[in-house]
Structure 1
Amino acid sequence: MNTTTRCAALVAALLIAPATASALTMAEAEQAMARHNPDLLAAAIALRGSQGDALAASRRPSPELSVGTSKISRQEGIGPGRWKDKRVDSTLGLGWTWERGGKRGWRMRQADALVDAATLGLLDGRRQQQVALHEAYFGLKAAQELCSIAEEDRRASAEGLAAAARQVATGAMAPIEQSRLAVDDLKVADAAREAALGLRDARHVLALLLGHDAGDALSADDDWPHPGATATTAPAALDTRVDLRAAQARVEAADAARALARSERRRDVQFGLEAEREPADIGGVTWGVSMSVPLGGARRWRGEQQRAEADYDAAVLEQQQLRREATAELDQLRHALAAAAQRRADHEHLQGPAARQSLDGLELAYRRGAATLTDLLDARRSWREFESDLIDARLAHASALARWNAAVSVSEGHTP
């Protein structure tokens, strides 16, 4: 190949090569998720709505202004002259509502509890999204390593197949062995394609969490969590967990709603002050006062009270169930993290060196004619399986560690 041909091939390779993935650290991923994650943005919007409800709940009943005109005759009309000379009866009224039974206070208490629940729900959503982020981030790292291993295996298989072709041409290898190597090369190529598809899927999963449009440009840059990171941190008290505190806030809101429903038995009173001008009856302006109370027996608000009682019982039941689930979750995650750490340690320190030594020995034995091609292919296949298992063990440990840290997170949504 001359210089011109080599330059043309290099330019073509650069044009068809995919764009280089941008390296992304876990800290950068957390910042991007906090700004663009759709679930967290939706929780923040819900919090804003709850704060608006709290402002509305604190508002007292507004005074009501009323203006009216009556006694307009079709025969005589409204009369000639200025406004004060008209024959019509004009009234101007102002009314107030007196809320009894502490309704405004209960409304404010319910709204404030719902704001607390929404705030804690946002923190709990961030806690859960942290778990999803760690799993997606290290899932991408695992997919990158699997893809790299698959491409290396594909390159080595292609080189071995080319060397086998040369040996067949010189008579040093039987054609049947070359055919077996070609079959194994097809399997390696299939594995490389599957790894590439897995890498693409992992990038899209992370991109959705980050609210990122260009998923193909993401690349996990951080190292795997330290192998010694196990469940050594003692969990904080269950009452400090944001999900349980949010459940407690919902119980308080339901209790306030129950008290608000009961307060409806104290009827509100409406007071009014009225100024009336009727030229045909009494000259000048006359004044009047009014008071109105809604009628109805004790059963008038029974339906609302029953609904409020049922909502309160449901909130208490949900809180009790969440507490039981949190207690069981801590015990389960502690043992899961210990098992994942042990599995990773076994793969890295026990099985890894033995598998690598076995493969190197068979490669040397095959080159010297002391091992068959079947033994070599089996050793290579076993090594590829071990590499996949090692990456899976590291991913399982990272996921178990993220779940444990989220389970013991404190009120601000961070790990202790």
Structure 2
Amino acid sequence: MTPKAFRAVGAAFFSVASALVAQTPSPTPPAAPAAPITLQQAVARALAANPSLQSVHEHVSAVEANKITAGLRQNPNLTLYGQGLTLPETPNAPSGNPFFYSANVSRLFERGEKRRWRLDSANATADSAQSLYRDQQRQLVLAVRGAFTNMLLAKAALAVAEENLTDYRKTVDLSRSRLEAGDITQTDFDRIDLQQVQFESDADNAQLALQQASAQLQLLFGVDRPVPNLDVTGTLDPPQLPLTMTEAEDKGLASRPDYLAARQALTASQANARLAIAGGTTDPTLSTEYDRNGIDNSFGVSVVIPLRIFDRNQGEKERTRYETDSSRFAVTAARNQVISDVDQSWMALDIAQRLAQRYNSHYLDEAGHVRDNLQFSYRNGNATLLDYLSALRDYRAIRVNSLAANAQVWLAIHQLSFATATEILP
């Protein structure tokens, strides 16, 4: 190959390579971590996109449409009739038989205020469905708050596990130095090194618990494929409640949507009972008619009145009376349930607060003090290996139990908010 041809091939190769480089997409930068969400943001996101809640909302809209049907009035009827309409055989021939045709308009008129009671029943039923929708919202909010608190607990437990693992690795490194210096035997070092697997296992299990809590929270958001970078922010420190148990009971009776739905169902049953009574009244049908018989015209009016001799709607009257009594007992049961739920939630919260107080004011500090002293003593050769490992296990257990106790206080607060259908904490 001549030098000139070689330079031509090189130039062509350089052009192709430059084109390939220009067409190669630049690497996509890694996605930035999502900003941590608060409890209020998590609740708002679930209320906006949870498919189960959206399904209930559409059902409420369907029930609301029944009010349109209940308010409709009876349609009039138009009847057209003709006979004897024959065509002549020739254009100039006289017509056949005298023709006859008529037009009749009739309409049924309801008595007993049936339309009013239908509207009252439909309105009360729609209100009850709306209250049940709010109750579904209440249940979803409780589930989101619980999942959010569990994720906060899992996140804090992972931080504790990683802190313990990092701290124990320092002990292993220090023990390795002491082994090399001849201060401890190989058996003592192996026993220390073997304990590290427990801390590593704790960290792995804590990571798994965090991922599962994140997936559970995102399921309530309506996410079909959970993202791995969801993060939450908040505190597990137990707060002080601004109300008493009696005030909580009053809030529950005033705000619980299921109790309100029971009362609205009673209103609907009472309207149905009145409608059944109205159904025993007679509804006349008024009609007017115009007739054309040949060259004669006529006009008439008629009234049809059913004779309610046998069927006076006795069955519906009896059924709706029992339904009303049933709804009245259901209201009493719903009220008792509200009081019971509030009282049980309050007692659970009181127990959780006392347990968390014991950990936070005494046991946690004491366990940390013992751990630090034995860690210092062991690293300086003044404590046995068994004492040091026992102090580490005790501290790990107390720390995790303290976090769980704090989380239990928050779960109890969420349960009390659920029982009262209000925001317990401002």
State TM-score, norm by structure 1: 0.83
Provide structure 2 residue ranges, at least 5 long, that are not aligned to the other structure: 1-27
Structure 1 residues 253-262 or 63-72, which shifts more? Answer: 63-72
Query: Does the aligned pair in 2 maintain the 1:19–1:217 contact within 8 Å?
Result: no
Q: Matched residue of 1:342: which SS?
A: helix
Q: Matched residue of 2:382: which SS?
A: coil
The answer to whether structure 1 residue 388 and structure 2 residue 403 are counterparts is no
- Structure 1 residue corresponding to 2:364, chosen from 352, 356, 359: 352
Change (3 A) 1:94 1:354: same
- Give the total of aligned pairs: 391
List aligned pairs for 1:243-392, cutoff 5 A.
Answer: 243-278=258-293, 282-294=294-306, 297-299=309-311, 301-392=313-404
Task: Give the Å deviation of 1:117.
Answer: 1.5
> 2:25 matched to which residue of 1?
none
Question: Alignment RMSD, CA only?
Answer: 3.1
How many Å separate the matches in 2 of 1:153 and 1:89? 104
Q: Matched residue of 1:23: which SS?
A: coil
The answer to whether structure 1 residue 109 and structure 2 residue 124 are counterparts is no
> 2:196 matched to which residue of 1?
185
> 1:11 matched to which residue of 2?
none
Query: Does the aligned pair in 1 maintain the 2:266–2:327 contact within 8 Å?
Result: yes
Query: Does the aligned pair in 1 maintain the 2:153–2:236 contact within 8 Å?
Result: no
- Structure 2 residue corresponding to 1:46, chosen from 55, 59, 76: 59
Structure 1 residues 141-150 or 234-243, which shifts more? Answer: 234-243
Task: Give the Å deviation of 1:138.
Answer: 1.3
Task: Give the Å deviation of 1:331.
Answer: 2.0
- Opposite residue 351 of structure 2, the aligned amino acid is A
Q: Matched residue of 1:248: which SS?
A: helix
Q: Matched residue of 2:231: which SS?
A: strand
Query: Does the aligned pair in 2 maintain the 1:168–1:175 contact within 8 Å?
Result: yes
> 1:206 matched to which residue of 2?
217
Change (3 A) 1:414 1:99: farther
The answer to whether structure 1 residue 130 and structure 2 residue 141 are counterparts is yes
Task: Give the Å deviation of 1:164.
Answer: 3.8
How many Å separate the matches in 2 of 1:174 and 1:80? 134
> 1:10 matched to which residue of 2?
none
List aligned pairs for 1:26-105, cutoff 5 A.
Answer: 26-70=39-83, 89-105=100-116
How many Å separate the matches in 2 of 1:49 and 1:249? 18
Task: Give the Å deviation of 1:53.
Answer: 1.1
State TM-score, norm by structure 2: 0.81
Residues 124-164 of structure 1: CA deviation (Å, up to 9, x unaligned): 33333332222121111111111222223333344444444
How many Å separate the matches in 1 of 2:410 and 2:113? 53
- Structure 2 residue corresponding to 1:240, chosen from 233, 254, 275: 254
Query: Does the aligned pair in 1 maintain the 2:416–2:424 contact within 8 Å?
Result: no
Provide structure 1 residue ranges, at least 5 long, that are not aligned to the other structure: 1-14
Task: Give the Å deviation of 1:192.
Answer: 2.0
- Opposite residue 388 of structure 1, the aligned amino acid is V
Query: Does the aligned pair in 1 maintain the 2:253–2:338 contact within 8 Å?
Result: no
